Amino acid sequence: MTGRERVLNTIKRQPSDRMPSSLRCTPEVQQALLERTGTTSKQQLYDLLGIDFRWIGLPFIGPENRSLAPLGGEGYDFWGCYNKAITNNFNTYYEITYHPLGQMTTVEEIENYDWPNLDWWDYSAIPEIIKKEKQTDDTAIMFFAGGAFESPWYMRGLEQFLIDIYDQPEIAEAISRKVADFYYERAMRVIEASNGMIDVIGSGGDIGGQNAMMLSPQKWRKHIKPYSAKLITPFKKMGFGTFYHSDGAITPVIDDFIEIGLDILDPIQVGATGMTPEELFPRFGDRLSFHGAIDEVELLPHATSEEVYKETKRVMAILGANNGYIVSPTHQVQGDTDPDNILAIYRAVKDN
C-alpha cells in the first residue's frame, strides 16, 4: 500500500498493511537525524523512516518587515507580532514580546488593523512542494490552515485575550473571526493550487493545560468553537480529512470536535489528565482517529531505545485497535532526545 492509502484508511478506520506514521521535530533534531542516518534532506530522511503523513508549508513573498511565520524566527511575523529568540542547551525557541492588538479597546480598532494580505504567499509553488514529498511514495499530504484561538491570543496577549472572553467577548470574537476568515481563505487558495494533491486540512491551537482546559468548556463552546468550526466543517464537507492539534487536557470538548467534523485528533499528550490511550480509546475510538501519543515529555528524552520500541508497540495496540491511529511523537521532538529513540518508533511501526 502507499502512504496515502494508509492515512486515508486510518481516517475511515479501515485496515491497512501497517499503521501509518508521522513525524515533526525541531531543526536541531532533524539535523541530528540526518547525521545519524546518513541522509542529506528531510525528504530523504522521511522516506528512509517510512513517514506516510507529510505536512507542507507555503512560501512567503510579502513584505520583509512581516516575513516570519508565527514563532518561526526572530522579528515580526505576518500578524505583526514580534518574536524574540530564546536559546537553551538543546533548541532555539521564539517568544512573542509584542502583541499588536494588545492595547485596542474597541471592535472598530480590531477591524481597522493592518491585517495580512492573502497575496503575501506564493500559491503557485504548491504543486512542486507536494511532488517533492512524493518522490518515492504516494504519501498523504496535509496543509495546516491555522487556528482561531492561538493566533488571536498571539496578537492580543494570552492574559488579555482570556480576560476578553469573560469581560468583553465581542473583542475576542472579532479577532477570532478575522483570523479564521483569513486562514479559511488562504487554505482555499492552497487547495485550488494543489491540483487535487492535498488529502487533509489541519487546524489547531492549544486549549488545554496539564490538568484542565485553559478556559471553561462552556466559554470555549460559546466564543471560540464557531470560529474553530470554520476551519474544520467546510473542509470535511468538501471531502478532505480534518485534523486538529491541541496539547493538554481537552477531553471535555472532544465530542464537540467530532460534532463539527473532526477526523484526526493530535497530539494526544498522554501525561495530561484524561489523555492516556486507555482513557481515550473506549470513549472516542469508534468516532475519531488519533495522531501522536508517543510521549515527548518523559519517554523520548529519558527512556532507552528498547523502552521506546516497547511503548510504541503498546500504544499501537490500544489506539490502533480500530485501525484509527497514525503513529507519531506527541509533538515536535525536542533536542534532548537521542536520535536512536526516534528511530525506535519507526522500527516498531515497520515490525508491527
CA angle 249-228-51, nearest 5°?
70
Quick check: is 158 in a domain?
A: yes
What confidence score (pLDDT) does residue 99 get? 98
What confidence score (pLDDT) does residue 352 get? 84
What confidence score (pLDDT) does residue 179 get? 98
Quick check: is 84 in a domain?
A: no
Tell me which DSSP letter residue 208 carries: B
Round to whole Å and give the CA distance between 216 and 219.
Answer: 5
- If the chain, 352 residues long, is cut into consecutive pieces of 10 residues, what is the mean pLDDT of each piece? 98 98 96 98 97 97 95 96 95 96 98 98 98 97 98 98 98 98 98 98 98 98 98 98 98 98 98 98 98 97 98 98 98 96 98 90
Instruction: Using alpha carbons, select from 298, 302, 203 the residue that is nearest to residue 257.
Output: 203
Instruction: Using alpha carbons, select from 242, 302, 234, 236 the residue that is nearest to residue 266.
Output: 242
Buried/exposed code over 90-129 (b: 16+ C-beta within 10 A; e: otherwise):
eeeebebeebbbeebeeeeebeebebbeeebbebeebeeb
- Tell the residue number behind the cell numbers 524574540, with chain if given: 84
Residue 148 burial (C-beta neighbours within 10 Å; 0-12, 13-18, 19+): buried
What confidence score (pLDDT) does residue 338 get? 97
Helices (H) and strands (E) in the chain, counts: 16, 10
Tell me which DSSP letter residue 242 carries: E
Sequence-distant (6+) residues with CB within 8 A of 244 are 202, 203, 204, 228, 232, 257, 262, 264, 265, 266
Residue pair 33/45 in contact (Cβ under 8 Å)? The answer is: yes
Round to whole Å and give the CA distance between 101 and 118.
Answer: 20
Total domains in the fold of the chain: 1
Quick check: is 90 in a domain?
A: no
Quick check: is 230 in a domain?
A: yes
What confidence score (pLDDT) does residue 209 get? 97
Round to whole Å and give the CA distance between 60 and 139.
Answer: 24
Quick check: is 206 in a domain?
A: yes
Quick check: is 142 in a domain?
A: yes
Residue 269 sits in a domain of what CATH number?
Answer: 3.20.20.210
Round to whole Å and give the CA distance between 108 and 322.
Answer: 49
What confidence score (pLDDT) does residue 76 get? 97
Quick check: is 12 in a domain?
A: yes
Q: Which domain holds residue 215?
A: 3-64+101-351
Alpha-carbon torsion, ordered 28, 30, 32, 38, to 10 deg: -150
What confidence score (pLDDT) does residue 271 get? 97
Quick check: is 88 in a domain?
A: no
- Tell the residue number behind the cell numbers 489523555, with chain if given: 275
